[in-house]
Each structure stands twice: as structure tokens, then as C-alpha cells.
């Protein structure tokens, strides 16, 4: 298929784009027609009701020159993008704590919701191992690498049965992050041995099951990058560790390139070029801005004059199109009775994980005693108030669109 593509069409396949609103405005439509992106990422900001999301995903699918990747972050808990259409789903930590049967039921519910709304890619599961003081504790399945791999395999299996492509994240492991990459570049103080023999184990175990791996925006000094460099822009991490040492042959996708961890370095077209050269196949950008079009043209221009970059584009497009041949496009089923049936299953699931919720909540609220008022910004859903050593604290999510 790619032999019939122009260079511009090949470069377009590398882009996965997001946009604002329930419908495509004129500027966004024009940008999509120019770039012909390989896929789209939608958020809660794009979802109003069943009719609207059905029409939107159908339109995006028709606009794609090849079968389009229609992606969403849908894990449950605080990363539940469809909770305005369906009842909320418990978090991954709660599902895992409740047992494999509950986790599988949660995965089947997620798959049914995605099928009903027209998505074929879920940026899940999180396969980072749970570490002390992590910002993503409630999104992690377990603290043991092998247990994470086992539970993630069950989740992936259930989504795969419904034709949903999964994405393991965040390579090479975000469990050690104590700051949020949405705002700044985390520095992961894990030794090279810890990363290679603990953090990456779940990813390696899942190589044959997952559709893609998401590369995180965090700096890992022990992996050889002296200057603060996001893993998503590091050839040592992607080309060296993931590809050569671990032997991964599938698709690598960046985390959102609009995150503060990247923009703090200076968001220019050079970021997109660095991401491709480092070994990424898909470039995730959650906004359609003039920068995206400039980056598209910059990559096309650079690829015309660089055989090495052309080879990288060819390699990436080959992987993307191979994945797309496996996509199943079933017209979304969004009938009212399906919504009611899914909500009944969610109610059953929530009752089964109630004991686990108590345990996970107590785990999340563990914190040293403090002597002064403290505002904690980080992973939580909604706003919680609780007592820490006699001090009343607020614990709130500082960004709703966490990945």
C-alpha cells in the first residue's frame, strides 16, 4: 500500500492529532485535508452525547485516506473519557486489587463502550510498576513487574476480542515519577539495573500482545542522556534500549507533545524531527495548531534531502500500515439498550470492587505528618479533603486530561 503513497502522504501517517470542540471547524478540516493524519485522539471536550460522537467518529473515519486510528485514553478512574455517556468505571488499581475476574469485567465494559462510540484504539493499559510516592499510584496495576504483566495481559486480551488496539504505557516506566510531565520534565532516579530488570519487564512480556508502546516524557540519567532529555526524544531510550537491546519491532508513539515536559524545551518543528529520529513511529499532538502544519512541511522537506530520515519515515509507515490492516471497522452500536446494559454491568463491577476501593483510597492518602497547611496537587478524581497530622488538606487533580 505504501508504495503508492507520496512522501507527503507517508509523513501524514505519522501524525495523531487532537482538536477542540464537538465538531470540526473550517480551519481544522483544512489542516486535516493538508496533512491527512494517520489518526485522531479525542477527549471529553469532544464528546457531548451518543449521536454526536457517533457522527464525529464516523466522519473522522471517512476523512482518513487509510483506515484511521481513532484513539482515546480510557482506563477508568480519573482517566475515564466516557463517563458523561456511561456510569463511571473504577480505577485500574481498584480493579486489580479486586482480582483478575473484576479486571476482566472492567476491560470488557471498556471494550463495549469503545465499540459503541466508534473508537478502535485505547491508550491503555498503564504497565508502570507501582512505586512509593509515584504520581500515578491509582493508575498502576501492581508493584511486582510480573504481576503487572499478568494483569495487563488479561486486560489486553479482553479488548483484543472486541477488535480494540491497545497501547502499553509509559516506557521505560513512569512509576518513579514524583512530578507531573504535563507541567515539567520529571527526573527518574532509577538505576540502569532497576530499569532493565524491573521497570521494562511488563513491556517486554507484552510485546506480542500490544498494538503499540507509548514513550513517556521523563528524563532517565542512568540511561546515558547527560542533558535533561525526555525519553520520547532520546535515541538511547527508543533506538537503543527499546529497539536494539529489548528487540521491540512494533509501533512506538510519543506521549502528547504539547505537555510541559516537552514545551519547556521550546516547542518548535525541531521537536517533531527529533521525535522521529529518536525512533518514534507516531507523533501525538493533542491540538491542531499552525505549528503542526509547519512541522509537517518541515519533515517533508527534511526527508527529501536526507536518505536517513526518508528511511526512518518508510520504516514507521510500514509499521503503521501493518497495524491498520488488522483494524476492524464495525459501525458503532449506540442504541439506548446497549447503554443501559453496560451501565448495569458497571454497577455490578463497582459493587465487586468496593472492598478494594477502601484499600486503594487509604494507600493514596498516605502522607507524612505536616505542621503547616498543605495543598497537594496530583492524581485524584474530583476534590478530597482529609486530615494529615491535624492539618486539613485538599487533594485535587490539576489537569483532567492525564495520560
The separation between CA 254 and the C-alpha centre of its own chain, rounded to angstroms, equals 9
What is the three-class DSSP state of 74? Answer: strand
Which pLDDT band holds residue 330 (cuts at 50, 70, 90)? Answer: low
**Active site positions, annotated:** 182, 255
- pLDDT tens digits for range 245-298: 999 999 999 999 999 999 988 888 999 999 999 999 999 999 888 999 999 999
What is the per-residue burial (b if ≥16 Cβ within 10 Å, else e) of 355-369?
A: ebbeebeeebeeeee
Note the residue count of the chain: 403
Query: Mean pLDDT, to the nearest integer, of 195-222?
Result: 97
**Cβ count near 348 (within 10 Å):** 12
Contact 16, 282 (CB under 8 A): yes
Q: Is the pLDDT of residue 308 over 90?
A: yes
CATH for the 2-340 domain, from 2.60.120.560, 3.40.720.10, 3.20.20.300, 3.40.50.150: 3.20.20.300
- pLDDT tens digits for range 361-390: 555 555 443 333 333 333 333 322 222 333
pLDDT for res 373: 39
Q: Is the pLDDT of residue 5 over 50?
A: yes
Q: Which residues pair with 70 in a beta bridge?
A: 40
Q: Is the pLDDT of residue 218 over 90?
A: yes
pLDDT for res 338: 66
Contact 122, 169 (CB under 8 A): no
Contact 67, 43 (CB under 8 A): no
Q: What percent of the chain has pLDDT over 90?
A: 68
The alpha carbon torsion through 243, 247, 251, 253 (nearest 10 deg) reads -40
- pLDDT tens digits for range 28-82: 999 999 999 999 999 999 999 988 998 899 899 888 768 899 999 999 999 999 9
Q: Within 13 Å and on the Cβ side, how many CA atoms surround 124?
A: 32
pLDDT for res 267: 81
Taking the domains of the chain in order of start, what are their residue ranges?
2-340
Query: Mean pLDDT, to the nearest integer, of 213-219?
Result: 98
Helix axes 269-278, 290-305, angle to 10 degrees: 50
What is the per-residue burial (b if ≥16 Cβ within 10 Å, else e) of 305-314?
A: eeeebbebbe
Q: Is the pLDDT of residue 316 over 50?
A: yes
Amino acid at each position: 500500500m505504501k508504495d503508492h503513497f507520496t512522501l507527503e502522504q507517508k509523513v501524514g501517517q505519522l501524525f495523531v492529532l487532537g482538536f477542540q470542540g464537538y465538531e470540526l471547524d473550517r480551519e481544522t478540516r483544512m489542516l486535516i485535508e493538508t496533512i491527512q493524519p494517520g489518526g485522531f485522539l479525542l477527549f471529553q471536550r469532544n464528546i457531548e452525547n451518543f449521536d454526536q460522537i457517533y457522527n464525529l467518529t464516523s466522519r473522522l473515519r471517512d476523512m482518513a485516506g487509510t483506515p484511521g486510528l481513532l484513539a482515546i485514553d480510557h482506563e477508568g478512574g480519573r482517566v475515564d473519557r466516557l463517563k458523561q455517556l456511561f456510569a463511571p468505571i473504577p480505577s485500574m488499581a481498584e480493579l486489580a486489587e479486586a482480582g483478575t475476574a473484576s479486571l476482566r469485567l472492567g476491560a470488557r465494559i471498556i471494550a463495549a463502550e469503545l465499540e459503541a462510540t466508534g473508537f478502535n484504539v485505547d491508550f491503555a493499559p498503564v504497565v508502570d510498576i507501582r512505586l512509593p510516592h509515584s504520581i500515578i499510584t491509582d493508575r498502576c496495576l501492581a508493584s511486582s513487574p510480573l504481576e503487572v504483566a499478568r494483569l495487563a495481559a488479561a486486560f489486553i486480551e479482553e479488548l483484543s476480542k472486541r477488535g480494540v488496539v491497545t497501547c502499553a504505557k509509559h516506557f521505560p516506566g513512569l512509576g518513579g515519577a514524583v512530578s507531573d510531565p504535563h507541567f515539567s520534565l520529571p527526573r527518574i532516579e532509577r538505576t540502569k539495573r532497576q530499569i532493565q530488570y524491573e521497570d521494562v519487564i511488563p513491556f517486554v512480556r507484552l510485546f506480542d500482545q500490544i498494538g503499540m508502546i507509548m514513550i513517556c516524557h521523563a528524563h532517565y540519567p542512568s540511561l546515558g542522556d547527560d542533558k535533561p532529555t525526555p525519553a520520547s526524544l532520546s535515541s538511547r531510550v527508543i533506538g537503543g534500549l527499546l529497539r536494539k537491546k529489548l528487540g521491540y519491532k512494533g509501533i512506538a508513539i510519543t506521549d502528547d507533545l504539547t505537555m510541559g515536559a516537552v514545551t519547556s524545551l521550546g516547542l518548535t518543528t525541531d521537536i517533531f524531527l527529533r521525535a522521529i529520529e529518536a525512533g518514534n513511529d507516531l507523533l501525538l499532538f493533542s491540538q491542531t495548531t499552525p505549528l503542526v502544519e509547519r512541522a509537517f512541511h518541515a519533515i517533508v522537506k527534511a526527508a527529501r534531502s536526507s536518505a536517513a530520515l526518508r528511511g526512518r519515515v518508510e520504516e514507521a509507515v510500514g509499521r503503521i500500515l501493518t497495524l491498520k490492516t488488522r483494524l476492524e471497522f464495525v459501525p458503532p452500536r449506540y442504541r439506548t439498550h446497549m447503554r443501559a446494559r453496560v451501565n448495569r454491568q458497571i454497577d455490578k463491577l463497582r459493587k465487586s470492587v468496593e472492598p478494594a476501593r477502601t484499600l486503594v483510597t487509604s494507600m493514596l492518602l498516605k502522607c507524612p505528618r505536616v505542621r503547616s497547611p498543605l495543598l497537594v496537587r496530583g492524581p485524584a478524581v474530583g476534590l478530597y479533603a482529609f486530615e494529615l497530622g491535624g492539618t486539613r488538606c485538599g487533594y485535587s487533580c490539576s489537569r483532567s486530561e492525564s495520560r
